[in-house]
Amino acid sequence: MLPETRLLLRHPFFLQGDVYALGVPGAELAPLGVKRGWSPDAHERALAPFALDEGLAPSAQAEIALVYLPKGNARRDHVLDLASTIAEKLVLVGCNDAGIKTARKAVTARAVGPVQSEHGNHAQLVATSLKPVEPKLRERRFQVPIGFFEGLSPDPPPGSPDPTHEPSLAPLDARRPAGRLASSPGLHVGDAPDALTLVSLPGVFSEGRLDDATRTLLDVIVWPARGRVLDLGCGAGPIGLSAKRRVPTIDVTLVDVDDYAVEATRRGAKVNALDVDVRSSDGYAAVSGERFDVIVTNPPFHRGVGTEYEVTRAFVNDAPAHLRPDGAFWLVANAFLPWEEPLRARFATVDVVAQDRRFVVYRATRPRT
């Protein structure tokens, strides 16, 4: 049980009434006795004892809006806006090491009545009433100059067959080694003739910029000439959207556990006029029974303030069930993370395509069944 939940159970008075939960972890709902709610996280929805609302515009009315503090100030403010339209009374809880003190100041500045608070279990509770504010998603747009990425070849290597579905990959030694991609701090929307415009929403990974791990991956990956590509844990979609821009003949599916990321990717696809399939998914759940020629991922390794290993472990372990026999699984990760051994347990061939002090890019083939 989370510290926030223990604190609430010590002060049940604050939840006397019709409660609607926003962002409460699925496993915490039953102990609290909450029967309705919303979560933008597909994993938490899967853990909930009832069907949680999804998407980014929950439509509900209640007496009390219970909010578990989300990560990041921008997402916090959006969820507070949502809460203000759902219920007159707000109850916000969060851990001391997750920004609850700053959040309390933000809530106090918006309060239209007295502010109550409780402390304990390394967490804080804040209760008040908020003036209704229409929720607005504050998006940021930024560009990825596609022409910088080499090693992307939609054409089969000379002398290769022309299959109907098999991916045709350039030999590993035909690609240049990964180098740090030059950043373009002065590049704005419309400046680059061959650029991909990405859309970022509150709390989406690497908000407003292309992270260095993804740069490293895009610098060396080779896309198939045709077939299906899965961008697993897509964030704002830089990998999958780049693939579709460079090789329009492939079918690209992008999935993410976070509805904010899913919406950001859909907006990015629309602004770039790219026909891709974007789904909300807890890992591979939304592509169950489907197989791909390429699965590519820059997986999360933080959840809250801790290091997260289980998500990537599941991505690796379940990959063979979603790859065609001649498919490839691409993974970029921080160099200190131990993924080579788990990859070799699930694939007969694992190549380190690029590596430096910060990141390593793996290409795994010949999945074990």
Compute the CA torsion angle 75, 77, 83, 84 (nearest 10 deg). Answer: -160
Kindly state the tokens that stand for 332: 């970029």
Question: pLDDT of 282-305, one tens digit each?
Answer: 999 999 999 999 999 998 764 544
Angle at 208 between CA 206 and CA 210, to 5 degrees: 55
Higher pLDDT, 311 or 77: 77
Are the beta carbons of 101 and 54 closer than 8 angstroms? no
DSSP 8-state assignment for residue 40? S
More confident residue, 300 or 16: 16
Instruction: Please state, in angstroms and rounded to a whole number, the distance separating the CA atoms of residues 58 and 257.
Output: 17
For range 332-360, the mean pLDDT: 89
DSSP state of 147: G
Q: For residues 322, 323, 325 and 330, what is the CA-based torsion angle, rounded to 10 degrees?
A: -150
Question: Which has more confidence, 18 or 219?
Answer: 18
pTM of the model: 0.85
Pick from 181-190, 235-244, 323-332: least confident: 181-190
- Bigger pLDDT: 300 or 354? 354
Q: Where in the chain is the domain with CATH 3.40.50.150?
A: 3-129, 140-367
Rg (CA), the chain: 22
> Does CATH number 3.90.25.10 belong to domain 3-129?
no
**What mean pLDDT comes out for the span 112-138?**
92
- 317, 319, 325, 327: CA torsion to nearest 10: -130
**Segment 62-82 mean pLDDT:** 95
Which CATH code, of 3.40.50.2300, 3.40.50.150, 3.40.50.300, 2.60.120.260, is assigned to 140-367?
3.40.50.150
Count of beta carbons in the 10 Å neighbourhood of residue 318: 16
Mean pLDDT of 114-126: 92
Q: What is the mean pLDDT of residues 96-121?
A: 92
